[in-house]
Chains A and B, each alone.
Chain A
């Protein structure tokens, strides 16, 4: 990082961005940490309670359930899309695909559509008179209204959104692997499984890291989808997530401190996830 000539004027150039950033991101972040140490309803005077909001989180079912639901969502948002993406990239890489730009555009499309719109579209599909019941021959089942299937339904939407991302990443990555590597593996007598382990997996390490980071963070941040598809945390609170708990506690049940504490926890988790996945997959970011 030694490039650049010495220039004081650099401060002036960086200043406007740093000011807005400090005032509207950094300060609220610290303020959130401060608020998390209080019991406060947002109106009257708060009382300082130290770390008890954090302690309560582990003792109380609501917060634990929300984090548990994120665990389930990660399966659908990350694990499933990455597995599907890897299997397909392995299966498809031998054929030079004509019309790849078209497929890439279509597969990536779910990534750019507002989550509220995605929610409306899938609500129709999961409705009692929707396409899923028609497809499965299960008449009149309300997938989003049943506490045993609501979270699953939200998860499937996550898979729909993220699978294209994984496929586009992996198809792009595998296109850069030289054909010689595959030939060499085959000469060594590697079958499809061996080829996957010795060539594809190492070559796609970086892409897998990117896909996992983006999708795990997306699962951790889920809000719009759950809020739109399953009002009030879903049937029996079966689809609550941390972001939903933050919103609900801060603005409806007068537990601002507790909401701020959950915010601090998801921030820490986001950093942890990014750091660990980057470490494992050896992806350089800066």
Chain B
């Protein structure tokens, strides 16, 4: 039997850790609503408007949106195609190619950013969206192919065979049968790649030199480095940067946890 004291203790401990996890985030939300003038009370929603317009976070968030949506879309399509091949077909060199792709799970992005910069500079691609999109697709597609291959291997062969008997070719079988059935695995992949791309900082720091294409995390770094930035505005900007991923997380938290834990070790 579990005593009442033990039950209370359990919730106390969990409560303490929940407060520890929440406090930094809540305090930044509270700061974001404070007046820019010290000592003046009240709730100041206009800080968000100012961060959006005057501090240009509207533009930074737009850049992040363009990059994230592109990376997610391209990654999902390429991963579906590759995982279908690696998971359901057999061809010479298949396993070797798959393991080569798997290497990408462990290669740290920090290690390739320097050569990548010089490669893209030679191609004239630095300070473009492509410089942010293509390398992140390359990193994510390794995880995507690995993640979806597991799904394709677990779908019963009878489903594929039934589709075949109905006269579907391999292309129709993939898009009309397997992809619709694989929605949960796809949603997990989409939210993870979205989070990785949205939060990415170093690549943007290196590739983006002008102000026009600055992503939200990069914009926040510049904004926090300016001496004339007020604390409430910086906090409001931080909330804006974090919010999109947090909102998606609150609705789809199971996908985040499952993907990060089961698909462990993404480099």
Contacts and interface: CB of A to CB of B under 8 A. Distances in A.
Query: What is the size category of the interface that chain A forms with chain B?
Result: 35 or more
Interface string A7-33: 111111110111011011111110110
A23 B146 CA distance: 19
A99 to B, nearest CB: 9
SS of B interface (majority): helix
Given A106-B18, A270-B267, A4 B89 contact: yes
B110 A24 contact: no
A246 B111 contact: yes
Contacts of B22: 106, 109
Interface stretch (B39-47, B49-57, B95-103): B95-103
A201 interface: no
A228 B235 CA distance: 14
B264 interface: yes
A172 B258 CA distance: 11
B112 A29 contact: yes
B21 A116 contact: no
Contact of A263 (B14, B111, B267): B111
Interface string A101-132: 00111111111111111101111110000010
From B31, B137, B170, B202, residue with most partner A Cβ within 10 Å: B202
B201 A116 contact: yes
A88 B17 contact: yes
Interface string B16-34: 0110111111011001000
Contact of A266 (B18, B78, B110): B110
Interface stretch (A53-61, A137-145, A188-196, A214-222): A214-222
A213 interface: yes
A5 B89 contact: yes
Contacts of A176: none
B7 interface: yes
Given A109-B22, A121-B238, A228-B221, A21 B101 contact: yes
A169 to B, nearest CB: 6
Contacts of B165: none
Contacts of A105: 250, 253
A108 B21 CA distance: 8
A10 B77 CA distance: 15
A210 B141 CA distance: 21
Interface string B241-257: 11001100110010011
Interface stretch (A72-80, A90-98, A146-154): A90-98
A97 B14 contact: yes
Interface in A151-196: 160, 163-165, 167-169, 172
From A88, A103, A117, A263, residue with most partner B Cβ within 10 Å: A117
Given A107-B21, A217-B267, A247-B205, A20 B199 contact: no
A29 B14 contact: no
Contact of A118 (B9, B24, B102, B108): B24
B108 A16 contact: no
Contacts of B9: 91
A7 B199 contact: no
Given A17-B81, A115-B201, A107 B111 contact: no
Interface in A199-223: 210, 213-214, 217, 220-221, 223
Given A27-B119, A107-B17, A120-B220, A246 B114 contact: yes
A22 B114 CA distance: 16
Given A124-B31, A125-B24, A228-B224, A18 B202 contact: no
14 contacts: A4-B89, A7-B91, A31-B118, A32-B112, A35-B114, A116-B221, A131-B23, A214-B265, A247-B205, A247-B206, A251-B117, A263-B114, A270-B108, A286-B146
Interface of A: 1-14, 16-18, 20-21, 23-29, 31-32, 35, 42, 88, 91-92, 94-95, 97, 103-118, 120-125, 131, 160, 163-165, 167-169, 172, 210, 213-214, 217, 220-221, 223-224, 227-228, 231, 242-243, 246-247, 250-251, 256, 259-260, 263-264, 266-267, 270-271, 274, 285-286
Instruction: List the 8 closest pairs (A to B, CB-CB), nearest first.
Output: A263-B111, A13-B85, A24-B138, A17-B82, A10-B89, A31-B115, A10-B85, A114-B199
